[in-house]
């Protein structure tokens, strides 16, 4: 009997997916059906099996981060560099945590901004493709700090969004209608 598996990720762009964890036995499907070649796992509570991923042609970067907490600045930089290098090679990238709500979204937002998106445009695009994305206030804080550093280094023309602008997009699914 074959069981059907529905992957818990969403394509934010043609090459960048954000999502939750996946069973190791589905690594082959990630590589073949979805053509994923690079995986960033932000879970502190678990870690993808690097040997299994490698066997299916995928590389892994593990950036252990506690759930609901901000991602360390150095890890954000490492994750952005890893994902961007893979994207530059034309590879598809999956950034995931346990549920694909906060940690993975935070890093993916940094990747999108690094690659030229304006911060709130990146958040809007992500939210429109994965509605449950809603980084915690601590994750907003680390994103905001990363944005400030990136803006200074790259002389980007945008302002770092404040929490009110962020929450209007990130938490809109929680508003009472």
Question: What is the tens place of the pLDDT at every residue in 142-170?
Answer: 999 999 999 999 999 999 999 999 999 99
CB 29, CB 3: distance < 8 Å = no
pLDDT tens digits, 106-134: 999 999 999 999 999 999 999 999 999 99
Question: CA 115 to CA 120: how far, in whole Å?
Answer: 14
Q: Kindly list the distances between the CA atom of residue 109 and the CA atoms of 50, 54, 123, in Å, as whole numbers in the listed order.
A: 24, 26, 7
Tell me the fold of 9-174.
Answer: 3.90.190
Show Cβ contacts of residue 163 under 8 Å, excluding neighbours closer than 6 positions: 137, 140, 144
pTM given for the model:
0.96
Q: Where are the beta strands (DSSP E) in the chain?
A: 9-11, 16-19, 36-43, 59-65, 92-96
Q: Please name the helix (run of DSSP H) or strand (run of DSSP E) that holds residue 108, with its range, or none.
A: helix 103-114
Q: Residue 34 CB: number of other CB atoms within 10 A?
A: 15
């Amino acid at each position: 009997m074959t069981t059907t598996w529905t992957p818990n990720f969403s394509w934010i762009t043609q090459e960048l997916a954000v999502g939750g964890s996946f069973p190791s036995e589905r690594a082959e499907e990630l590589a073949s059906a979805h053509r994923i070649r690079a995986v960033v796992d932000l879970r502190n509570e678990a870690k993808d099996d690097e040997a299994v991923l490698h066997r299916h042609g995928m590389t892994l970067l593990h950036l252990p981060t506690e759930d609901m907490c901000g991602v360390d600045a150095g890890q954000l930089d490492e994750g952005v560099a890893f994902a961007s290098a893979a994207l530059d090679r034309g590879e598809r990238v999956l950034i995931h945590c346990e549920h694909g709500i906060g940690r993975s979204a935070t890093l993916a937002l940094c990747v999108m901004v690094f690659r030229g998106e304006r911060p709130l445009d990146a958040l809007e695009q992500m939210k429109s493709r994965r509605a449950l994305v809603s980084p915690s206030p601590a994750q907003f804080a680390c994103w905001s700090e990363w944005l400030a550093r990136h803006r200074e280094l790259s002389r980007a023309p945008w302002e770092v969004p404040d929490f009110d602008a962020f929450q209007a997009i990130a938490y809109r699914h929680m508003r009472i209608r």
